Amino acid sequence: MPDIVDPAVGAYADAHCTPPPDHLVAVDADTRERMPAFGMMVGLMEGRLLELLVHAVGARRVLEIGTFTGYSALSMAAGLPPGGTIITCEADAHHAAVAMANIQASPYAGRIEVRLGSALDTVAGLAGPFDFVFIDADKANYPTYYEMVLPKLSDGGLIAADNTLWSGRVLDGSDDSTDTVALRAFNDLVAVDPRVVCTVLTVRDGVTLIRKR
């Protein structure tokens, strides 16, 4: 899926981010080589954004919905204070196995726990509060994930939702595919939800940031 940002602009932004550590360079290269859907990986610019957001809110407990090969979880782990932890949910057994291997090969193996199975079931069984939540799984369930995690968000906590511009397809009223309809509904819901304050960033394919009022 193409990013919403001009590729040349994205490349310039990547070149002006702090370079990634060796373990993320390895995850990036391996994901691109082994995974046909490597575009699902957040990449350097968004990974650095997630790290900085986790650090900025002082997050100690992070929940991620959608692990893929672990790039985003490893990025966020770098922003945690000592003792901080991440629970990341992954429905695909192959993705989970790859992610766990990548995590074990990193400096953050003790900070990240991969939960295999339906994120709907996993999140339902988790007790809050979480200081930071990153939603980046099956788009059709974005509205449901949002309603599930908002009550589990700590005071001062933050939710980040990926792919909310969906290559511009959310603008196309004639696109009635399941994912597009769900993302459009999610965007519309959050924008008028009196419980939260939100903004949409045009980073890669769109990142929505949400905090409770």
Q: What is the pLDDT of residues 158-212, one digit of tens each?
A: 999 999 999 999 998 889 999 999 999 999 999 999 999 999 999 999 999 999 9
CA torsion sign for 145, 43, 114, 159 is: negative
Whether the link from the prior residue into 129 is cis, omega within 30° of 0, is yes
Pick the CATH number of 7-212 from 3.90.1170.50, 1.20.1090.10, 3.40.50.150, 3.90.1580.10: 3.40.50.150
Per-residue pLDDT, 3? 65
Which stretches of 35-177 are DSSP H helices?
Answer: 43-56, 71-77, 93-104, 119-124, 142-149
Average pLDDT value over all residues in the chain: 95
Residue-wise pLDDT tens digits, 105-150: 999 999 999 999 999 999 999 998 999 999 999 999 999 999 999 9
Q: Any idea which residue has 């304050």 for tokens?
A: 197
Domain spans of the chain, in order of start: 7-212
**What six digits make up the tokens of 82?**
């000592």
Looking at per-residue pLDDT, the higher value among 1 and 37 belongs to 37
Per-residue pLDDT, 172? 83
